[in-house]
Structure 1
Amino acid sequence: MKQLFGMMIVTLVSISVTCGDDASAGDWDRFRGPNGAGVIEGPPVPTTWSADQNLKWRTPLPGKGTSSPVVSEGRVYLTAYTGYGLDEENPGDPTELTRHLLALDRATGEELWRKSVASGGDEDPYKGFITQHGYASSTPASDGEHVFAVLGKSGLFAFDRDGNQLWQVDLGTKSDPAKWGDGSSPILVGDIVVVNAGILGNKLLGLNKETGEELWSVEDEAFTNSWSTPTTVEVGGRTLVLFNVPKKIIAVDPRDGSTVWTAASPLDSPSGSIVVQDGKAYLMGGRGGDAMAVAVDGQGDVSATHTLWREKLRSGIDTPVAVGGNLHWTSGGVFYAASMEDGDYVYKERLPRLGGPTGGFPNSDYASPIAVGDQIVQFTRSGESYVIQAGDEFQVTAHNPAFADDDSDFSATPAASDGELFVRSDKYLYCLSAE
């Protein structure tokens, strides 16, 4: 059946599901970990690292990528690309583009299997802004038994933990007007795979994780400028999925795709994800440096009733991390803290720089900060990294130079699990551990 909501079309297939988080304790099973919060409790991770210190293993990767590693049931999954777009001056033939999904042994870094998928359509040309991230920006999601990955215009793929393909679904082969490529990552909500296919297909989707059957679809051409990964929130005993799309937040019931509430947003091209804490949703980014907070317990259009604050906060591609009552993020080599209560800056401090193989803060830093307890880990594109104490004062606990023999980009958000950090560059996947 079809339900009209303004210019939005909702198509659904009824299914009985249980919504919730099936991840094992300690797993970092999707982009930015449990519910995309970028926060995990548990054993502390190391604060200093180098080729000679706290490096458990390092595994070469087949190609570039800005997608993050995910950790699930003893495996590490991530994507990469080869064949095209490796050199801006000589990008090559776009028909040669190949995307890869890799599974590695968590304990050793050994590659267990690799699935390679050829280009699925008319790829966006490797020029302009797309050179900052390339063609493997979407992070996989896993429940331990399955792994789900958006491999660009080739679609959404599901594999079992041994690398057997279970299904594949076409998400579309469209592009945003600027041809910046896709980047949103799939998430799991109980037995449903939820995808923001706004760039590829101008739609939001819910799919049966076992079969790939489409359960519901929300379609709107305005979604074409959303690179944001969805987030879930519990409200009144049920799970809602929050989508950060141009000029609005949409709260959807993942069981049937129905819209529960919407709120007007100042963001016209959101890339960062919504952060949820204590019944409030926070979002920032896009070209205008806008930010806002909204209460999540509404019905219908809650723009006038549930918007808590709006501010201008300088931000970029990354998603902030919420810890200690503040939002923390980095932009242009500056580390920021803003109060979650009213959006006012708590501090903004330039990160000290050591230089390194690629020299400081080139272009936009993509990696989002994560928090292990009250320690915030921030990587810059150059490979320099920082451990920063959460709080109202800027305090750098540790400052690590880039790995001396890795001059590639460190644009992926790291993963943390059971006292270990998993960090990917364009050349390697690193496991950092104090043990």
Structure 2
Amino acid sequence: MNASGFCHGNRHSHVQSMIRYRAFYVLVLTVAFVGCRKRTPVNEISTSESGIQVQEFDRSLTKGDWNQWRGPQGDGVAVDQPLPIEWGESKNIDWDVDIPGRGHGSPIVVNDLVVVSTAIDSTEEQRVVAFDQHSGEQKWSTVVHQGGFPSRRDVHQKATNANGTVASDGNLFVIAHLNQNQIIVSALDQSGEIAWQRDIGAFASKFGYAPSPILYKSLVIVAADNFGGGYIAGLDLASGEVAWRRSRGDASTYSSPHVATVGGIDQLLIAGGNRVASYDPATGEPLWETEGTAASTCGTVVTAGEKVFASGGYPDKETVCLSASGERLWSQSTKLYEPSPITDGKNLFGVTDDGIAICWSGDEGTVLWRKRLGGNFSGSPVLCNGHLYVADLSGNTYVFAASAEGYQPIAKNRLGDDCYASPAISDSAIYLRIGIGSGNNRKERLVKIRDTSGKSS
């Protein structure tokens, strides 16, 4: 064989080796990808199987408590009460305290306690922390999980390991975390002692876990949509036993559920997975579902009378109004992805992620006005005294009128360097969770804002 023939043979052998190597590499990646996306079958549970029936429940709450995500009714609307509209570092600040670690869950206010969930990444601790409502003094801090955090690549760069808001019936504080690739629900008593913990199912993380638990009569309801096999579950609040669990497909989506009375019945409503779905909150039995919004959503459904409003998300853009039975009434190709919409009972309001405030007619879906606020938003607006309060990711809180007559600014207030959470309103005060600094130097603070003009200097 001449030299040229030898070289040609080696080249041919090298090419064949490369082909075999690339084929093997593709096979390994395919197996890894399929393995990562392997679905875990959801073990559905009915109330007849669990033997747990929902009961009317007398909660130990006062009228002013803000006891769960988006407040007592889950819609972001507070009872009218005197509230400041202007504040700053030296104006109308009653107290502010450090929060250990980081989280995007909003504060709740129950029985003279302000409670948040937080995560300390350096020690892999997920905690629930309680502060005195009147003084800001830390009353207790309970580690509910040590270790078991998801890989950082499985949590969105904007997210944390404590995105959910605590829910409380006045006796127990309940929170759900992603830990050890499971969704684990924890309940703590008024002293911060763990009353029960329950692993409710596997969770395949794409960007982390976001939904907040909500209360319905004697149940706490937790959503866990994920690409490995999503589900929604109702747990007995007293014991943590699973009363019912319903499969929800394989979409990675992040919305919290909402319970409202529409069409004369209580409905458990949730968006995501290219549909808006309704369930019986007592049993988890499906009532209806309607195609819409997007595969991935973050916002919570709201209702007004017999109308159901939802918005999202990614990759599609849609804000939709449905009837109490899921019939499409109107649709607009505008999305609110992370922030949730809010309604005054007649019109629908929202702020887009990129800072555009919008008002729709609730009846027709007509855009009555839109206004660029600037900045970017993750938090959701709350409504009190005809004013909407919403914070952006630069630490500004915008106050404007919930009016169909055009954008009417009331105030713009700056605290800290960012705000991912939504405000809580209780006892004529606003509670904000803010960030100060950036990167590794960023710290979180909890701030109580109220009219302090009557106080001595």
Shorter-chain TM band: 0.7 to 0.9
Are residues 1:73 and 2:111 paired? yes
The equivalent of 1:322 in structure 2 is 343
The equivalent of 1:370 in structure 2 is 382
TM-superposed deviation, 1:49:
0.6
TM-superposed deviation, 1:235:
4.2
Structure 2: runs of 5 or more not aligned: 1-40, 436-443, 453-457
Q: Which amino acid aligns with 1:376?
A: L
The equivalent of 2:448 in structure 1 is 431
The equivalent of 1:142 in structure 2 is 168
Divergent runs of 4+, >6 A: none
TM-superposed deviation, 1:220:
3.3
**Structure of larger gyration radius:** 2
Find the partner of 1:264 among 287, 291, 297: 291
SS of residue matched to 1:241: strand
Q: Which amino acid aligns with 2:358?
A: Y
TM-superposed deviation, 1:104:
1.1
TM-superposed deviation, 1:290:
0.7
C-alpha separation between the residues in 1 aligned to 2:88 and 2:382? Answer: 19
Q: Which amino acid aligns with 2:189?
A: D
Do 1:412 and 1:425's aligned partners in 2 also have CA atoms closer than 8 Å?
A: yes
User: Against the structure 1 CA distance between its residues 248 and 9, is the aligned structure 2 distance closer, same or farther, given a 3 Å change threshold?
Assistant: farther
SS of residue matched to 2:141: strand
Do 1:42 and 1:418's aligned partners in 2 also have CA atoms closer than 8 Å?
A: no
TM-score by length of 2: 0.81
Q: Which amino acid aligns with 2:432?
A: V
C-alpha separation between the residues in 1 aligned to 2:85 and 2:144? Answer: 37
Q: Which amino acid aligns with 1:433?
A: R
SS of residue matched to 2:156: helix
Correspondence 1:323-338 to 2 at 5 A: 323=344, 325-331=346-352, 332-338=354-360
1:370-417 Cα distance to aligned partner (Å, 9 max, x none)? 1112010011111011110111210111111x23xx33x311011011
Correspondence 1:11-410 to 2 at 5 A: 11-12=45-46, 13-19=50-56, 22=59, 23-84=61-122, 96-118=123-145, 121=148, 123-126=150-153, 130-153=156-179, 155-176=184-205, 179-199=206-226, 202-222=230-250, 224-235=251-262, 238-287=265-314, 288-296=316-324, 298=325, 302=326, 306-323=327-344, 325-331=346-352, 332-351=354-373, 361=375, 364-392=376-404, 393-400=406-413, 402-403=414-415, 406-407=416-417, 409-410=418-419
TM-superposed deviation, 1:126:
4.9
Q: Which amino acid aligns with 2:90?
A: D
TM-superposed deviation, 1:173:
4.4
1:42-88 Cα distance to aligned partner (Å, 9 max, x none)? 2131000112111011011101111100111211111111124xxxx
Q: Which amino acid aligns with 1:398?
A: A
TM-superposed deviation, 1:120:
5.6
Q: Which amino acid aligns with 1:425?
A: I
Structure 1: runs of 5 or more not aligned: 1-6, 85-95, 353-360
1:137-172 Cα distance to aligned partner (Å, 9 max, x none)? 111100111100112226110011111111111134
The equivalent of 1:419 in structure 2 is 428
Do 2:271 and 2:293's aligned partners in 1 also have CA atoms closer than 8 Å?
A: no
Do 1:124 and 1:180's aligned partners in 2 also have CA atoms closer than 8 Å?
A: no
| Larger relative contact order (Cα-Cα within 8 Å, sequence gap ≥ 6) | 1
C-alpha separation between the residues in 2 aligned to 1:146 and 1:120? Answer: 24
User: Against the structure 1 CA distance between its residues 42 and 80, is the aligned structure 2 distance closer, same or farther, given a 3 Å change threshold?
Assistant: same
SS of residue matched to 1:11: coil
Do 2:124 and 2:149's aligned partners in 1 also have CA atoms closer than 8 Å?
A: no
Do 2:68 and 2:168's aligned partners in 1 also have CA atoms closer than 8 Å?
A: yes
Q: Which amino acid aligns with 1:159?
A: L
TM-superposed deviation, 1:328:
1.6
TM-score by length of 1: 0.85
Q: Which amino acid aligns with 1:378?
A: V
C-alpha separation between the residues in 1 aligned to 2:143 and 2:57? Answer: 31
The equivalent of 2:23 in structure 1 is none
C-alpha separation between the residues in 2 aligned to 1:153 and 1:164? Answer: 19
TM-superposed deviation, 1:250:
2.1
C-alpha separation between the residues in 1 aligned to 2:299 and 2:332? Answer: 16
User: Against the structure 1 CA distance between its residues 202 and 43, is the aligned structure 2 distance closer, same or farther, given a 3 Å change threshold?
Assistant: same
